[in-house]
Amino acid sequence: MAPIDVPSWTQLDMDAVCARIRAVAFDLDNTLARSRKPMLPWMAERFSTLTTLLPVAVITGGRYGLVISQILDVLDDHADRSHLHLMPTSGTRYYRWDGDDWRCVYAHDLGVDLRDAAVASLTDHAKELGLWLEDTWGPRIEDRGSQITFSALGQQAPVEIRERWDPDGTKRDALVRAVAADLPELQVRAGGTTSVDISLHGYDKAFAIRELAASLDLPVDRIMFVGDRMSPDGNDYPAAEAGSLAVRVTGPEDTARLCDELIARLS
């Protein structure tokens, strides 16, 4: 199948888009907020307003705790939590608001043996490739239950340093290839700016979009997916392959402009 050329939202007829979509899903890091940082107030206000207009999902490779700190903790008071769909670790977990708290709808966790094998492979190959640094900002490897994540600089590395570490993705790609050869039964993908994610095969943002569509009883193509990593090797690209109306943004400021266009028309 020929690669999908995912357009920037500025290339689209936004009147036609808003007449078509019935839900919108967002990547998190470098789409709604900078990596591991909360949404800034101007984004939180727009995001909260969107939840009053249609169902809104957050589909991220990050763990649920980051969804709390980056999204939930900064929502405006007028946000409609019943319209929110939270899908961390690339959709291997799914949370909904039940009126009192966030309820886990499902969790597709890795078995202990697979998690141990993933940690061992990441450790061995990161050392072989010179990616196992002596000094890091927090743990390098995190067991998220449904996903094992390697962060070369540590989980709490400053954003500016993470963004400079592997700008063309060659370091992460080398680690992905080496680990994937060890673990054919698992899916290994480059995640954020310094990370590699390991999960069960078939559990990516395509899976998440299809689960969201089923939950909302919508055709997949009625869901807009917004992300910054829309090239064929990017972790947002599977959402385009699933058949969503995928659009590309360059960062949170660009996403804010898209939200303004959506809010103006959907209101």
Check the annotation: does 228 bind a ligand. Answer: yes
For the chain, report the end-to-end CA distance as a whole number of angstroms.
38
CA distance 59 to 120: 27
Query: Which contacts (CB < 8 Å, 24+ apart) does range 152-155 have?
Result: 152/126, 152/194, 152/195, 153/194, 155/36
Q: Who's near 243: CB < 8 A, 6+ residues apart?
A: 209, 220, 221
Check the annotation: does 27 bind a ligand. Answer: yes
Catalytic residue among 5, 15, 27, 77: 27
CA distance 202 to 19: 31
Check the annotation: does 162 bind a ligand. Answer: yes
Check the annotation: does 46 bind a ligand. Answer: no
Check if 27 is active-site. yes
Check the annotation: does 81 bind a ligand. Answer: no
Check if 113 is active-site. no
Residue type (1 letter), 259: C
In terms of Cα–Cα distance, which of 241, 253, 261, 259 is closest to 5? Answer: 241
Catalytic residue among 29, 166, 204, 236: 29
Q: Which residue has the tokens 């009053």?
A: 52
Check the annotation: does 29 bind a ligand. Answer: yes
CA distance 231 to 3: 9
85, β-bridge pairs = 57, 96
Query: Which contacts (CB < 8 Å, 24+ apart) does range 14-19 have?
Result: 14/261, 14/262, 14/265, 15/265, 17/224, 17/245, 18/262, 18/265, 18/266
How many CB atoms are closer than 10 A to CB 259?
22
| Binding-site annotation, residues | 27, 29, 36, 144, 162, 195, 197, 228
| Binding-site annotation, residues for Mg(2+) | 27, 29, 228
Catalytic residues: 27, 29
| Binding-site annotation, residues for alpha-D-mannose 1-phosphate | 36, 144, 162, 195, 197
